[in-house]
């Protein structure tokens, strides 16, 4: 276990909303978590839970309007990024915090060749000359499994397939050796072999340079394989968090239990995979009680009127459920 001083990233009571014709959509609703240097933290939850909005908030890239950070702080070291200037954020994004976006096409510049875009990033970060930067670009493109890297650097984004563009993005993010890498579903669109290769590269980078990684994924198998800790989000809130082994051996929130049950078990022939009944509610639509109550097999009277807090399961393992709270009360009287 690493002995950590203060976290590299500390998200404190963050709230991010979108203001639309239909009113305020509280996509991220008071979340608190941290990531230490060298840690790989997984963020999981179904579609619409607020994972991407969390990462875009950290990067200072929430489209505004309609979006806005309406509360809380995002500390990167001692600096509150919610108060940083656009210039400072651009600086950080070029040097210390890199992101692999869920939609890669939007983040490559269509008018520059792949080589030129990578050169710029590498030169800015490493201060190397053109020739060395280009060589490094080609090496990293090969590392992410892209064929014909020497020719690829002369091509434009539109000449590449979606999967290839995604790998270019991953290569660019890793070439910078950032302090913090935010990877939003980085491998979902890629085939399994490439996926495994990229995850291994991310893990290598993490071990070699102590890059902290915030890994957003639907895939709990990936979490089990590469993450140290996991944060489970539901409807804009953190509902459970803890060390990966604690979450997997002792999931304490009914939502986490449901997610784990929906993972295919390769050792068993399952006729039909379990899926949590119902859908993720629209942000802000559940005004009272636990937001998971309409889908929860364990819901009882209190759940529809009161909103549960994050309670300690054990140590840093916490879950937002009355059952955890009441179990504790019973144990300690």
Residues that bind ligand SF4 (CB under 6 A): 253-254, 290, 292-293, 296, 298-299, 303, 308, 321-323
Q: Which residues contact 237 (CB under 8 A, 6 or more apart)?
A: 29, 30, 31, 291, 320
What is the distance between the alpha carbons of residues 265 and 1, in angstroms, rounded to a whole number? 29
Minimum distance from residue 324 beta carbon to ligand SF4 (Å): 8
Question: Nearer to Mg ion by C-beta: 52 or 166?
Answer: 52
User: Per-residue string for binding with Mg ion, 25-64, x by CB under 5 A?
Assistant: --------------------------xx------------
Q: Is 187 in the site for Mg ion (CB under 5 A)?
A: no
Sheet containing strand 23-35, edge to edge, reads 23-35, 9-20, 67-76, 79-80
Tokens 């000359």, residue located: 129
Q: Tokens for 161?
A: 């397939």
**Contacts to Mg ion from residues 81-120, by CB under 5 A:** 102
Instruction: Please say which residue, 233 or 313, places its beta carbon nearer to ligand ATP.
Output: 233
Residues 7-46 that bind ligand ATP (CB under 6 A): 18, 20, 25, 27, 45
Is 251 a binding residue for ligand ATP by CB under 6 A? The answer is: no
Distant-in-sequence, close-in-space partners of 127: CB < 8 Å, separation ≥ 6: none
Question: Of 60, 75, 78, whose CA–CA distance to 16 is shortest?
Answer: 60
For the CA atoms of 272, 273, 277, 280, what is the dihedral angle to 10 degrees?
-140
If one asks whether residue 101 binds ligand ATP (CB under 6 A), the answer comes out as no
C-beta of 54: minimal distance to ligand ATP in Å? Answer: 7
5 binds ligand ATP (CB under 6 A): no
What residue ranges bind Mg ion (CB under 5 A)?
51-52, 102
């Amino acid at each position: 276990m690493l002995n950590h001083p203060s976290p590299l990233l500390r998200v404190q009571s963050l709230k991010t909303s979108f203001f639309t014709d239909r009113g305020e959509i509280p996509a991220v609703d008071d979340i608190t978590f941290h990531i230490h240097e060298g840690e790989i933290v997984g963020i999981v939850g179904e579609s619409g839970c607020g994972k991407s909005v969390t990462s875009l908030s950290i990067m200072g890239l929430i489209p505004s309007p309609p979006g806005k950070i309406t509360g809380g702080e995002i500390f990167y070291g001692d600096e509150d990024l919610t108060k940083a200037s656009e210039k400072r954020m651009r600086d950080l994004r070029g040097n210390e915090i890199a992101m692999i976006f869920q939609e890669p096409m939007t983040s490559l510049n269509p008018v520059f060749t792949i080589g030129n875009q990578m050169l710029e990033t590498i030169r800015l970060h490493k201060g190397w000359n053109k020739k060395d930067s280009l060589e490094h670009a080609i090496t990293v493109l090969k590392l992410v499994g892209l064929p014909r890297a020497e020719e690829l650097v002369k091509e434009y984004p539109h000449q590449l397939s979606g999967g290839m563009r995604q790998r270019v993005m991953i290569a660019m993010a890793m070439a910078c050796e950032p302090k913090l890498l935010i990877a939003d579903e980085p491998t979902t669109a890629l085939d399994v072999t490439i996926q495994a290769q990229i995850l291994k590269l991310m893990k290598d980078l993490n071990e070699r340079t102590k890059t902290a990684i915030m890994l957003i994924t639907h895939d709990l198998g990936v979490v089990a394989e590469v993450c140290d800790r996991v944060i489970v989000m539901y409807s804009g809130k953190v509902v459970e968090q803890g060390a990966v082994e604690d979450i997997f051996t002792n999931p304490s929130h009914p939502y986490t239990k449901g997610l784990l049950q929906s993972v295919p078990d390769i050792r068993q022939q399952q006729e039909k995979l379990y899926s949590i009944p119902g859908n993720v509610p629209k942000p802000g639509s559940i005004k009272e009680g636990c937001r998971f109550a309409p889908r929860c097999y364990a819901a009882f009277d209190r759940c529809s009127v009161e909103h549960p807090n994050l309670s300690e399961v054990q140590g840093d393992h916490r879950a937002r459920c009355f059952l955890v709270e009441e179990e504790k009360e019973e144990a300690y009287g």
